[in-house]
Amino acid sequence: MKKILFAASESVPFIKTGGLADVVGSLPKYFDKEKYDVRVMIPKYMCIKEDWRNQLTYRTHFYMDLNWRKEYVGILELEYEGIRFYFIDNEYYFSGPSPYGEIYADIEKFAFFSKAVLSALPLIDFRPDIIHCHDWQTGLIPVYLDNFRYGNEYYRGIKTVMTIHNLKFQGTWDAKRVQDITGLPPYYFAPDKLEAYQDANYLKGGIVYADRITTVSNSYAEEIKMPFYGEKLDGLMNARANSLSGIVNGIDYEAYDPAEDRYIARRYTVDTFRRDKVKNKMALQEEMNLERDHHRMMIGIVSRLTDQKGFDLIAYIMDELCQDAVQIVVLGTGEERYENMFRHFAWKYPDKVAANIFYSEPLSHKIYAGCDAFLMPSLFEPCGLSQLMSLRYGTVPIVRETGGLRDTVEPYNEYEKTGTGFSFANYNAHEMLGAIRYAEQIYYDKKRDWNKIAERAMKKDFSWGNSAKQYEKLYDQL
């Protein structure tokens, strides 16, 4: 029986700010229970909803040296959907209205968390064979583990996997200050270890000391070896290329299931979508006050409104796109200029554009189910989950060929009658517009082909079970 501990800064259903939480909370359920005992450790934030906090049971507590100070470490636990979750408690570090705050405070908070994860192991009677660390917040775990091995038999032989969900976020701060916070010997603050461009870099430390490094798609694993995507760590990524691999994320096929979805107007399956999917479109047009016309092609966007997601391209051609026979439904929040851009076009073309500048889980499901196409022209995309959801709902994705988008959306080929979506290669607004207009042409002139694309999309399997098998392989190699 292999023992695996996931260490992360967030996990559904307890606390979520992004896709990381979905991975940490969903993936463990899909491992073969006969062979793998997978548990999860996260901080016990005060901002976790009270009904969850009330269900936690106290396990033990101890005091831990964090360089020159002694810190309280409480351990609480809860079994949820067959997975044991441990919560590290310390009110000084984990109070506050959200899991993350100012970076200087987060640097100290996650140094504490990383050391506490390792220090807690002997007391919970669970010695993992592998600690699977997620993103920069747990980057110090492999570093502390290396440090703990000297003179402590218990920690020898524990392996680590470091998963990069988004290389843009690295956890960097002044090296002297980090040395003072962590209590790690000066030895670790060298350019071939934690130090990067005069700062200490948590993610870099994790990459240097982990036994294996993964990222959330094959293409992204290749891209981050190049300067454009490498966020100044491309040299290190090349140096560790033989330990680096990509495994595409999945989505929870129970939560996102058009046959069972409680949020949508009309449920449907791959066999009935030709007849029933359009009922969701009509309901969405009604709810969004758009022109009621079930023939009209509807394009959905559910996203953080940021540069990374390609909204400068959309802003550039939005006026032109609104001349076409399309409707556009947007859901999300982000940079003010993009929020206002969509508000402007919703005002200018009220029967064509609906701008929902907030986030709503039910509305996101209605958009995945009701739209004909889904637009996602990211500048870079480690994995991306929205295109997986749109495939699942038979809503044809239009994406830029980067990272996980390239790995999960197969471009339509009208001669071979293959493909699950439309794509374009260069980060260029008119190339994107060309892909959208090509999709419009197929939608309006070759409706049977369009339905075949949607059908192939719905038949794809991007459930977590798929990803779990690849992680199992990785663990077995270790």
Q: Given phi > 0 = left and psi -120 to 50 = alpha, else beta, which region is 266?
A: beta
Strand partners, 103: none
384 with 310: CB under 8 angstroms? no
In a domain, 261, yes or no: no
User: From CA 154, how far away is CA 242, in angstroms rounded?
Assistant: 28
Total number of residues shown for the chain:
478
Is 129 found in the same domain as 51? yes
Is 177 found in the same domain as 58? yes
In a domain, 229, yes or no: yes
What pLDDT was estimated at residue 139?
98
User: Which one-letter amino acid corresponds to residue 368?
Assistant: Y
User: From CA 367, how far away is CA 382, in angstroms rounded?
Assistant: 23
What pLDDT was estimated at residue 116?
98
Across residues 401-410, what is the average pLDDT? 98
In a domain, 258, yes or no: no
- In three-state secondary structure terms, 460 is coil
Lowest mean pLDDT among 15-24, 57-66, 197-206: 15-24
Across residues 227-256, what is the average pLDDT? 95
Please tell me what DSSP assigns to residue 107: H
User: From CA 196, how far away is CA 406, in angstroms rounded?
Assistant: 30
Token reading at 362: 């039910």
In a domain, 443, yes or no: yes
Token pair 């705050």 in the structure block, residue:
101
User: From CA 349, how far away is CA 382, in angstroms rounded?
Assistant: 33
In a domain, 260, yes or no: no
User: From CA 300, how far away is CA 288, in angstroms rounded?
Assistant: 12
Q: Given phi > 0 = left and psi -120 to 50 = alpha, else beta, which region is 226?
A: beta
Is 470 found in the same domain as 443? no
Is 451 found in the same domain as 416? yes
Across residues 446-465, what is the average pLDDT? 96
CB atoms within 10 A of CB 11: 27
Is residue 17 over pLDDT 90? no
Q: How many domains does the chain have?
A: 2
What pLDDT was estimated at residue 18?
81
Is 290 found in the same domain as 155? no
In a domain, 256, yes or no: no
Is 301 found in the same domain as 200? no
Q: What is the CATH number of the domain that holds 27?
A: 3.40.50.2000
Q: Nearest-CA neighbor of 394 among 293, 287, 298, 283?
A: 298
CB atoms within 10 A of CB 29: 17
Is 309 found in the same domain as 230? no
Is 354 found in the same domain as 236? no
In a domain, 13, yes or no: yes
In a domain, 366, yes or no: yes
Is 376 found in the same domain as 333? yes
Token reading at 263: 């949020």
pTM above 0.95, yes or no: no
What pLDDT was estimated at residue 242?
97
What pLDDT was estimated at residue 151?
83
Is residue 19 over pLDDT 90? no
Across residues 442-446, what is the average pLDDT? 98
Strand partners, 130: 4, 159
In percent, how much of the chain has pLDDT > 90? Answer: 96
Is 230 found in the same domain as 300? no
Is 469 found in the same domain as 361? no
Is 473 found in the same domain as 447? no
**Residue range(s) defining the domain that contains residue 70:** 2-250+465-477
